[in-house]
A = this chain, B = another copy of it.
Amino acid sequence: MTVQDRVRAAYAQLALGERPEAWITLRPAEAVFAEAEAVAGRLAAGETLPLAGKLVAVKDNIDVAGLPTTAGCPSYAYTPVVSAAAVQRLVDAGAIVLGKTNLDQFATGLVGTRSPYGAVRDVRDPARVSGGSSSGSAVAVALGIVDLALGTDTAGSGRVPAAFQQIVGIKPTYGVVPTSGVVPAARSLDCVTVFARTLAEGREAVAIMSEPFPADAPLAAPPQPVIAVPDRDELLHMSEEWLDAFERAAKTLESAGARLRPIKLAPFLAAAKLLYEGGFVAERYAAVGAFIDSLPDDVDPTVGAIIGKARDIPAHVLVADTERLQKLRDEAMAEWGDADALLLPTAPFHPTIAEVTADPIGVNARVGTYTNFCNLFGLAAVAVPAGIGVQVITRGFADAVAADIAALLVGPEPAVPYSAGLPLLVLG
């Protein structure tokens, strides 16, 4: 398939009008076709463009030069002249940006409903949420409109929608992918993430966006990795069916050669609660609080309530929470011990839009049970579909280990549906 054909296929898919709320801005078709011609020309001239023929959707809190960045709030919008470093690296490798996607406003949410551009609906069951905050990006990939999409992940925003949309979501270690050109949610925790239908495509995109890893970062999982897996009674908020599915995912790893061992989740879950119930929310106020105070009526009421409340958190609470977090991390890492990875559900359940509307903060908090602690502890995670969505979590900079173990869960992947980057396929 040529680059131009890939773009045509995307527009054919878009024309079906599925989940239009996934998009905030679509680029003009002529500009996208012109760029496809240019990429095809570069390929013909012999350039190596590993992402040629890949279409990308970008979460609308990440800058793309010339397109407005709204962060899900129309009156916050600005139009950057420079793309975020992460976007630019994909474009340099031949990828083409199709547009900007909907999100929980200011990336504050795990549901996908907190947006004046519309609640993003699940691809399979429109009564359910897409997951968020990178709602539109996950849906655009799940629908096959794009090959790759960028999200961000502070509390779980790059993994929860991957779980609900049954696609791959890769959350690299904090700092590995630059966040320049990203509207901060909680600056000390924000990560740029990738959604893809296949793990291979996601890994390639992350590799292209990443800074060099530390020299001692592991390059692969060991042949018989040790995986920490919590017992059924350690897991909160899950139905019997979801618990069964989680156990089957663990057994899949065991069948593939992994050695499983139990782990207690208490320090992990205590840290997860700190993210929204303590001082760390002040980072969100520091990022956009002045804007929210100046135009309170322009803000989603749930998002405004969460960030507005953070105005009054005293600094000494943040200091104490930072110290508490360090202790919890020490406890958690003692539990972790010599495990190569931790297997967890990505989310404990998949709520309906009605459930979220009835209790917007409570349901959201429970959805984040297993994702919230990750960035606080500096860990890497790869979310994959395995019956339910599960995540393979590793220590910081062991991103390759997480992806290798995740590969055991997804098994052999289908051939990439669209590819123009490899000369063989261009010729074929």
Q: Which residues of B contact A282 (CB under 8 A)?
A: 314-316, 318-319
A310 to B316, CA, bound (A): 8
Where chain A touches its partner, the secondary structure class is helix
Partner of A311, one of B285, B316, B323: B316
Does A327 lie at the interface of the complex (its beta carbon under 8 Å from any beta carbon of B)?
no
Does A317 lie at the interface of the complex (its beta carbon under 8 Å from any beta carbon of B)?
yes
A183 to B220, CA, bound (A): 44
Does A320 lie at the interface of the complex (its beta carbon under 8 Å from any beta carbon of B)?
yes
Q: Which residues of B contact A318 (CB under 8 A)?
A: 282, 315, 318-319
Does A289 lie at the interface of the complex (its beta carbon under 8 Å from any beta carbon of B)?
yes
A185 to B310, CA, bound (A): 26
List residues 251-308 of chain A with CB under 8 A from any CB of chain B: 279, 282-283, 285-286, 289
Partner of A279, one of B311, B312, B315, B317: B315
Are the CB atoms of B187 and A286 closer together than 8 Å? no
Tell me the nearest residue of chain B to A285, going by C-beta: B316
List residues 313-359 of chain A with CB under 8 A from any CB of chain B: 313-320, 323
Are the CB atoms of B315 and A289 closer together than 8 Å? no
**Given A282-B319, A286-B319, A323-B286 in contact, is the A313-B314 Cβ separation under 8 Å?**
yes
Copies per assembly: 2
The contact string, 1 if C-beta is below 8 Å from chain B, for chain A 148-161, is: 00000000000000
Q: Which residues of B contact A187 (CB under 8 A)?
A: 319, 323
Tell me the nearest residue of chain B to A315, going by C-beta: B282
Are the CB atoms of B319 and A283 closer together than 8 Å? yes
Q: Which residues of B contact A285 (CB under 8 A)?
A: 314-316, 319
A320 to B283, CA, bound (A): 8
Q: How far is the CB of A375 from chain B (nearest CB, A)?
A: 15
Are the CB atoms of A315 and B310 closer together than 8 Å? yes
A312 to B320, CA, bound (A): 14
A282 to B323, CA, bound (A): 13
Q: Which residues of B contact A320 (CB under 8 A)?
A: 286
A310 to B317, CA, bound (A): 11
Q: Which residues of B contact A319 (CB under 8 A)?
A: 187, 282-283, 285-286, 318
Tell me the nearest residue of chain B to A320, going by C-beta: B286
Tell me the nearest residue of chain B to A312, going by C-beta: B314
Q: Which residues of B contact A313 (CB under 8 A)?
A: 314-316
Q: How far is the CB of A216 from chain B (nearest CB, A)?
A: 12
A318 to B313, CA, bound (A): 11
Q: Which residues of B contact A315 (CB under 8 A)?
A: 279, 282, 285, 310, 313-315, 317-318
Q: Which residues of B contact A311 (CB under 8 A)?
A: 314, 316
Are the CB atoms of B316 and A289 closer together than 8 Å? yes
A310 to B318, CA, bound (A): 12
Of the candidates A187, A283, A319, the one having the most CB atoms from chain B within 10 angstroms of its own CB is: A319
Q: A187-B323, A283-B316 are in contact. List 10 more A-B contacts (CB 8 A).
A: A282-B318, A283-B319, A286-B319, A286-B320, A313-B315, A313-B316, A315-B317, A315-B318, A318-B318, A318-B319
- A selection of 12 A-B contacts at a CB cut-off of 8 Å is A187-B319, A282-B316, A285-B316, A286-B319, A286-B320, A286-B323, A289-B316, A310-B315, A311-B316, A313-B315, A315-B318, A318-B319
